[in-house]
């Protein structure tokens, strides 16, 4: 057999040898392409470009910064033209030249960190997540769409109502570091609910930990570790814990408890107080017609009799004498929050009445409501037992109804 070299053998077999193509791209160009491919993957997944904002995922925020920087690189527009089918780079101002940046500066601009190459191969370039991204992944964990969010949505809606009415309040995270199922937190500007706490596990440092199912008000969820959530709440200046309804935003802590947990009594907190319900003796036609239904609800830390003295000269009391029809004694209450609860419950039934004070000036008295006395009594009982959460006054039936 005639000896033939490789080329001759391939020619005899009818195979054309094609020279191997070598990349003509510089390492900088390879990094630009790698960084843009991350952005493209995000776009394909979410059907939109990455955006800035504290409430967004840390990776999305990094990709948004990266896209901003790529838009400023004139070479990037030409280099990525074939890849940029969605037109992500269009309409951007050109300000920085890639030639003006060394490799480290370019990586910093793009938010990319290159892992050191193997000592035996200095030509290898590896694109890896930045250390910031790694830390973010450990602290926040990947979020995904919550498949059964519909069953959690009413919970978030109720919590929003509780916060508006004062039934729940927010406290700086740190006084109480416990995290259990049913807790609500504000983290990264988003409301989050601890739906499940997994089995206890042992962390590398020997401390106990557990995997959480954390549901966010935007319809996503994550499975980060309990200690990761604690660290994130500590680091977040806006991180907050929401109190439970039975913790009583209405009722202040006892002095010893306040000292123990670092709480301080608010200006409107009073050791004991009285809710009072008044009925007016005014001769105003509207008041006369509805006298049995029109009531003023107030709170005082002193004597009710002292509070209503001189009612005939006070437009707040309709410039007429009043009758005390009910009183309720409460302890360690917060006056302003209690009054806000009544206003939330009966705001729609507040009377719209204008009278002239003793100087002839028009006045619109507040805290007078067209509500039956028995409904006010029920509201006070609900405040005492905590069931006022979710209750609303229905004008058509003149009853409290629960919206849960």
pLDDT tens, residue by residue, 244-295: 764 444 444 333 333 222 334 444 454 467 889 999 998 888 888 988 999 9
Rounded mean pLDDT of the chain? 74
213-232 pLDDT per residue, tens: 999 998 899 988 888 898 88
Using pLDDT thresholds of 50, 70 and 90, give the confidence band for residue 296. Answer: very high
- Percent composition of the chain: helix, strand, coil (DSSP 3-state, to 5): 35, 25, 40
For 358-364, the CB contacts below 8 A with 24+ separation are 358/313, 358/315, 358/319, 363/315
Using pLDDT thresholds of 50, 70 and 90, give the confidence band for residue 9. Answer: low
Tell me how far apart the alpha carbons of residues 37 and 59 are, in angstroms, rounded to a whole number: 14
Which pLDDT belongs to residue 184?
92
Tell me how far apart the alpha carbons of residues 63 and 53 are, in angstroms, rounded to a whole number: 12
CA atoms within 13 A on the CB side of 368: 22
Residue 139 has pLDDT above 50, yes or no: no
CA 327 from centre of chain? 39
Number of residues in the chain? 404
Which pLDDT belongs to residue 128?
45
The residue with tokens 């202040």 is: 252
CA atoms within 13 A on the CB side of 175: 15
- Structure tokens given for 295: 């009531």
Using pLDDT thresholds of 50, 70 and 90, give the confidence band for residue 85. Answer: confident
Which pLDDT belongs to residue 278?
93
**Residue spans per domain, the chain:** 27-140, 143-247, 269-402
The 3-state secondary structure of 333-397 reads EEHHHHHHHHHHHHHHHECCCCEECCCCCEECCCCEEECCHHHHHHHHHHHHHCCCCCEEEECCC
Q: What's the mean pLDDT in 88-109?
A: 52
Tell me how far apart the alpha carbons of residues 281 and 140 are, in angstroms, rounded to a whole number: 62
Which pLDDT belongs to residue 255?
36
Q: What's the predicted TM-score (pTM) here?
A: 0.38
Partner residues linked to 280 by β-bridges: 322
Decide the pairing of beta strands 269-280 and 294-300.
Answer: antiparallel
Partner residues linked to 194 by β-bridges: 214
CA 30 from centre of chain? 39
Nearest Cα residue to 351 out of 280, 292, 295: 295
Q: What's the mean pLDDT in 309-320?
A: 84
- Structure tokens given for 183: 């807790």
- In the structure, how many helices (H) and strands (E) does the chain have? 13, 17
Question: What is the SS3 assignment for 55?
Answer: coil
CA 336 from centre of chain? 25
Tell me how far apart the alpha carbons of residues 251 and 271 are, in angstroms, rounded to a whole number: 9
Percent of the chain with pLDDT over 70: 71
Tell me how far apart the alpha carbons of residues 14 and 24 are, in angstroms, rounded to a whole number: 30
Which pLDDT belongs to residue 214?
93
Question: 163 Cβ partners below 8 Å, 6+ apart?
Answer: 169, 170, 242
343-379 pLDDT per residue, tens: 888 888 888 888 777 677 777 777 799 999 999 988 8
What is the CB neighbour count within 10 angstroms for residue 350? 17
For 370-378, the CB contacts below 8 A with 24+ separation are 370/290, 370/293, 370/294, 371/293, 371/295, 371/346, 371/398, 372/293, 372/398, 373/277, 373/295, 373/325, 373/326, 375/399, 375/400, 376/277, 376/295, 376/297, 376/326, 377/326
Tell me how far apart the alpha carbons of residues 41 and 129 are, in angstroms, rounded to a whole number: 14
Percent of the chain with pLDDT over 90: 8
Q: What's the mean pLDDT in 381-402?
A: 81
> Measured at the alpha carbon of residue 337, what is the angle toward residues 336 and 341, in degrees to the nearest 5?
115
Using pLDDT thresholds of 50, 70 and 90, give the confidence band for residue 323. Answer: very high
Topology at the third CATH level for domain 143-247 = SH3 type barrels. (2.30.30)
């Amino acid at each position: 057999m005639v000896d033939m070299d490789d080329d001759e053998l391939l020619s005899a077999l009818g195979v054309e040898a094609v020279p191997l193509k070598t990349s003509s791209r510089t390492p900088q160009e390879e990094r630009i392409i790698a960084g843009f491919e991350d952005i493209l993957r995000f776009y394909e997944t979410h059907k939109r470009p990455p955006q800035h904002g504290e409430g967004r995922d840390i990776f999305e925020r990094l990709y948004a910064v990266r896209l901003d920087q790529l838009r400023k690189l004139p070479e990037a527009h030409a280099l990525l033209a074939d890849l940029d089918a969605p037109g992500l780079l269009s309409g951007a101002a050109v300000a920085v030249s890639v030639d003006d940046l060394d490799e480290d500066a370019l990586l910093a601009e793009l938010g990319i960190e290159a892992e050191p190459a193997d000592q035996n191969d200095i030509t290898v370039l590896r694109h890896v997540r930045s250390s910031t991204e790694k830390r973010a992944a450990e602290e926040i964990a990947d979020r995904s769409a919550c498949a059964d969010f519909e069953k959690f949505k009413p919970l978030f809606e109720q919590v929003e109502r509780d916060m508006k009415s004062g039934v729940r309040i927010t406290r700086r995270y740190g006084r109480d570091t416990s995290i259990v199922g049913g807790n609500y937190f504000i983290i990264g500007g988003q409301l989050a609910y601890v739906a499940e706490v997994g089995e206890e596990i042992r962390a590398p440092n020997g401390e106990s930990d557990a995997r959480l199912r954390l549901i966010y008000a935007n319809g996503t969820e994550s499975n980060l570790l309990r200690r990761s959530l604690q660290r994130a709440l500590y680091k977040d200046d806006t991180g907050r814990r929401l109190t439970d309804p039975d913790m009583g935003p209405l009722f202040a802590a006892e002095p010893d408890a306040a000292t123990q947990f670092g709480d301080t009594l608010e200006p409107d907190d009073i050791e004991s107080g009285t809710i009072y319900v008044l009925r007016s003796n005014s001769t105003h036609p509207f008041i006369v017609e509805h006298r049995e239904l029109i009531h003023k609800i107030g709170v005082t830390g002193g004597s009710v009799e002292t509070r209503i003295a001189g009612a005939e000269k006070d437009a707040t009391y309709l410039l007429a004498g009043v009758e005390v029809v009910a009183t309720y004694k409460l302890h360690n209450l917060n006056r302003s929050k209690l009054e806000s609860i009544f206003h939330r419950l009966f705001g729609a039934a507040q009377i719209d009445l204008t009278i002239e004070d003793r100087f002839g000036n028009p006045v619109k008295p507040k805290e007078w409501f067209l509500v039956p006395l028995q409904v006010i009594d029920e509201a006070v009982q609900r405040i005492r037992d905590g069931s006022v959460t979710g209750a609303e006054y229905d004008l058509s039936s003149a009853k409290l109804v629960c919206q849960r």
